[in-house]
């Protein structure tokens, strides 16, 4: 059985289409009635509610045990009209499908946040006897852009208290790449929702999961505050993850560049080495090698390569009389004139004059 949630682009109202596989018996019809999502007992037992908090935020809350295997999905829109933040709190891992890929989300120690744009369909597969628990927040693109512009921070917490000053650090985020990631990226999965470092998220989610039936105007305000704080904490988490990834990437790049530098120090004094060879040895593309080498070492690959050769040549000339032809050959130059020109350009004097002074 497949349950597909579809949002009308004009009215912004949701409907549910129920389809079955060939030969599969229809167990009933799932419907949205006011602030309830009604499941026939032949399909699932438990509670499931729907709340239109305002024109920009819709919320679904699910605590269901399915009696029959089902795929619960959201149909893609033609354009990015809204974004979905699905926080899956199911006790066992469930299979999630999006962009043609399967991911395992949920589980007691691995509850997950799945973020996606509306123009990408997504679905979750629930087996007979399995529990599907979580909240699904749909927010308009306009709302998201507005929230990010104001650091996504609510004025009050779930208890109606101000979160200015002392409490503000709990939700502090910076306007960085994470903001653009939420708007531009089609989907993100953030796991370990219930880790010890995410206890605040758990409290916010549990407050929302406790909703059942019609909510008052005051409760709507508190729910919106929780949603804004969850959004802020989610941005903070992916910001931290992006920063750690960037730090690792910088460390990895630096390690490879120093490997190249060490290789040049070892090989350049005695033979010619190409950029292609260096890139292959360091497992890095030539373009990145040139850019990162200049950034980390302060010189281009060729400049450093030539410095090593010239330093070796100067040392050999100062150690004793050496025929220029032998020196040019030993250092890997194509001709004596090529070596002499490079040496004079580097030190301002000819190699012969250094040899004479020695």
Closest among 158, 156, 241, 150 to 201, alpha carbons compared: 158
Q: What is the pLDDT at residue 129?
A: 93
Stretches where the chain sits below pLDDT 70 are 107-111, 149-187, 189-202, 211-213, 238-251, 355-358
Q: What is the pLDDT at residue 167?
A: 38
Q: What is the pLDDT at residue 229?
A: 82
Q: 114 pairs with which residues across the strands?
A: 86, 189
**Span 139-169, pLDDT tens digits:** 888 888 777 764 433 344 444 444 343 333 3
Q: What is the pLDDT at residue 183?
A: 57
Closest among 95, 87, 43, 84 to 64, alpha carbons compared: 43
Contact 135, 209 (CB under 8 A): yes
What the chain holds in terms of domains, given with CATH numbers, is 2-245 (2.60.120.810), 268-358 (1.10.10.60)
Q: In what order do the strands lie in the sheet with 122-126?
A: 14-19, 2-7, 70-74, 122-126, 93-98, 101-106
**Global pTM exceeds 0.75:** no
In whole angstroms, give the CA distance from residue 320 to residue 343.
Answer: 17
**Span 256-299, pLDDT tens digits:** 888 888 888 888 877 778 888 888 888 888 888 888 888 888 88
Q: What is the pLDDT at residue 163?
A: 38
């Amino acid at each position: 059985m497949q349950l597909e949630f579809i949002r009308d682009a004009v009215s912004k109202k949701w409907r549910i289409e129920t389809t079955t596989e060939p030969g599969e018996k229809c167990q009933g019809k799932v419907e949205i009635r006011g602030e309830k999502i009604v499941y026939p007992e032949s399909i699932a037992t438990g509670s499931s509610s729907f709340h239109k908090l305002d024109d920009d935020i819709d919320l679904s809350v699910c605590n269901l045990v399915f009696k029959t295997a089902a795929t619960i999905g959201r149909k893609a829109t033609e354009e990015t009209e809204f974004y979905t933040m699905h926080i899956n709190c199911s006790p066992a891992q469930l299979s999630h499908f999006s962009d043609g890929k399967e991911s395992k989300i949920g589980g007691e120690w691995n509850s997950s946040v799945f973020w996606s744009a509306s123009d990408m369909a997504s679905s979750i597969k629930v087996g007979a006897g399995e529990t599907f628990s979580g909240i699904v927040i749909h927010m308009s693109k306009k709302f998201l852009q507005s929230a990010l512009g104001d650091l996504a921070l609510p004025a009050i917490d779930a208890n109606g208290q101000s979160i200015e000053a002392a409490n503000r650090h709990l939700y502090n985020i910076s306007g960085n790449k994470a903001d653009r990631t939420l708007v531009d990226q089609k989907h993100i999965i953030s796991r370990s929702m219930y880790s010890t470092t995410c206890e605040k998220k758990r409290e916010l989610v549990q407050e929302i999961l406790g909703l059942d039936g019609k909510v008052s105007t005051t409760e709507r305000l508190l729910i919106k505050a929780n949603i804004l704080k969850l959004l802020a904490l989610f941005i903070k988490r992916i910001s931290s993850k992006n920063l750690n990834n960037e730090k690792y990437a910088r460390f990895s790049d630096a390690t490879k560049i120093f490997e190249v530098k060490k290789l040049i120090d070892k090989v350049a004094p005695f033979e010619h080495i190409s950029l292609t060879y260096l890139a292959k040895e360091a497992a890095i593309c030539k373009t990145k090698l040139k850019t990162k080498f200049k950034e980390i070492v302060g010189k281009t690959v060729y400049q450093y390569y030539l410095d090593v050769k010239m330093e070796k040549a100067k040392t050999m000339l100062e150690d004793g009389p050496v025929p220029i032809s032998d020196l040019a050959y030993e250092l890997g130059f194509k001709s004596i004139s090529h070596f002499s020109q490079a040496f004079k350009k580097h030190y301002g004097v000819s190699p012969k004059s250094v040899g004479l002074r020695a």
